[in-house]
Structures are given as C-alpha cells and as structure tokens.
Amino acid sequence: MSVQQIDIYLDGQPVKSHYYISNGCIMIPALFFKHANVLVDYERENQCIKMKQNKTTITFIKDQYEVLVQNENQIKKETLAVAPLELHGKFFIPFQYVTQHLGMSFSECSSPNRIDLVANHSARSHQAVFYKGPANKKRVALTFDDGPDQVYTPKILDILNGKKIKATFFVIGQQISKTPEMLKRIMNEGHEIGNHSWSHPNFIELMASDLIKEIKSTEAEIHSHTGKFTPNLRPPYGFVTKSDIQIINDLGYKVIMWTVDTLDWTGLTDKEIISIVNRDLTEGAIILQHSFQSSTSKLDGTVKALPVIIDKLINEGYEVVTISKLFE
C-alpha cells in the first residue's frame, strides 16, 4: 500500500498530512482532523477511534466496515466502503466520510497532492492563546522551559534573585519528580510555575485522552510539592491544534506562547541570544529561554546572557513580570 504526502488547505491554511487511496476513497490519519477542532480519541480496549464535534460523534472500529454515528440521542449504524486501518502507528480513516458527517466541504485541486477543505464553522472556536501581553504597558515576561534541573535552573535562579526579578518557569512533570526540591525553590523565591506537560511530547500527535493525561499528571505533580495549581500552560515546541487548544482551555488553562524565541537550546552564545532579544523586543513581549541541560544542548549562553538582558530591560524602562502579572 503506497502512502503519500498531501497538502490539505484547511480554511486556506496548509496542513501537511499523508494519505492513500483504497476503493476510490481517500484515507488519511484520524489525527489530521484535530486541526479542524474535532476531538479525536482512541479507546484501546475496543480498538476504536472516536471523533466528536458539537453534537456529532463518529466511532470507527479498527479493521471493521461498520461505523456508529451519534447525533444527540440518536445512534445509527452505517457501512463503510473501506475499513479503518492502522499503518505505521497511525489510524487511517475515510476522509470524505468524516467531512460529510461533520458538515465540512472539500474539493480536489488540479495541482497534484492538494485538497481544499472548509471546516465546520459552527464548531466552538473561542480559544485562549496568548503570544504577548498588552502593548500599552511597558512590561515584559521572562520564561524558562523544560526544567527544573540541578545544573542550569539553580544558576538562573541565583541571577534572578540577585537582580530581584520574578520569572515564569514552565516545568516538565518528569523533571519535577527527579528534582522536587528545585521546584520548591522556584516557588519559595516568588517565581511563577506553568505546566509544560509530563514528558514533552508533540501534542499534535496525541489522542485526546493522552493529551489530558500529560497535563493532569504534571498538574498533580506540581500540586503535590507546592500545594498550588497553575492557570498557564505552554505546549512543547509550541505545537498545538485547534482541538488541543479547546481541550487545554476546557481544563482551565491559558495557552502561553512567546514573542521572542532566543533559540538558546541550540547552543547559541550569549551575544547571539542578546542580539535576538534586541531585535524582537516589544512592549508586552514574552521571552522564551530554557532551564534544562539535555544530552544534546547546553545553556551556557543563557546563563551569560541573562544578567545582560535584565539590565537592558530595566535600563530601557521595562517592568519585568511573571506571566500572570503581564496580563493584569
């Protein structure tokens, strides 16, 4: 079976996916529909994919031609021309069938490997995603991802403490379990804590239940050591779909992105990091840095650049605040 790449233009925006043709049907990974704000989940016990939008739920059973469609209190069985199939760890389902039952429309373009799709605009779309704070306040937020660790996190905390600056740390659940004392130090020194998932996966590749588990496990770990909950979450890599955002918001979080990406994790020098901040700094900016040493990256540039960045911000009249304070 030949699986190829395809560009699906969802409401005019390209989303790369894969597909194959079987019995005249376009088959694509179920997770693609997360981009159209469809909740996609997998029930391992029954080996079925559930797709839900508004009041419609479609249940596909792996390798079975029978499908269940539920609208409010009505459930009906239908027969598919092609059974859902698992390939390379992805569940492929009939594209046309889903778009029809969820009120979407599509057209195949004359150009090769492209489809235009118009999503169901009656689906919930109010979503809270923040890239920066208000532009009318001369404030900026310093944020640090992927920690805590015992190498760079204490060095960063020492600098912040010396400069009397409060920052926001988006923490990984696995890292908290290894260094809980560092999480407590972050809190005790007055910094803000944000949720950054349990294991740093790509949210786009997660089913709904797995995404919720990543978030709730981390929140439980944070609460067990601090007694507090956090209202802010940053998706790993900044990768997120409309469906993911809806789930995150429904769990009570704001999705926090960034304005200034220092790319410090790539091993940039302090001068290179400072140059990026100088170039991209605006009022209300959220500056992204990291506080965890991995096997592939070192953050010596971050540690050297941080006091210079703080001095620059203060000298230019910026108030350096936590994420929550930024949005007050």
Please state, in angstroms and rounded to a whole number, the distance separating the CA atoms of residues 274 and 276. Answer: 5
| 51 burial via Cβ count (<10 Å: 0-12, 13-18, 19+) | buried
Of 145, 244, 264, 270, the active-site residue reads: 145
Summarize the chain as % helix, strand, coil (round to 5): 35, 30, 35
Q: Does residue 290 have an active-site annotation?
A: yes
Q: Does residue 196 have an active-site annotation?
A: no
- The helix/strand/coil state of 203 is helix
Of 191, 196, 200, 290, the active-site residue reads: 290
Chain-centroid distance of CA 209 in Å reads 14
- The helix/strand/coil state of 152 is helix
Q: Are 179 and 204 in contact (CB under 8 A)?
A: no
Please state, in angstroms and rounded to a whole number, the distance separating the CA atoms of residues 31 and 51. Answer: 9
Q: Which residues are catalytic?
A: 145, 290
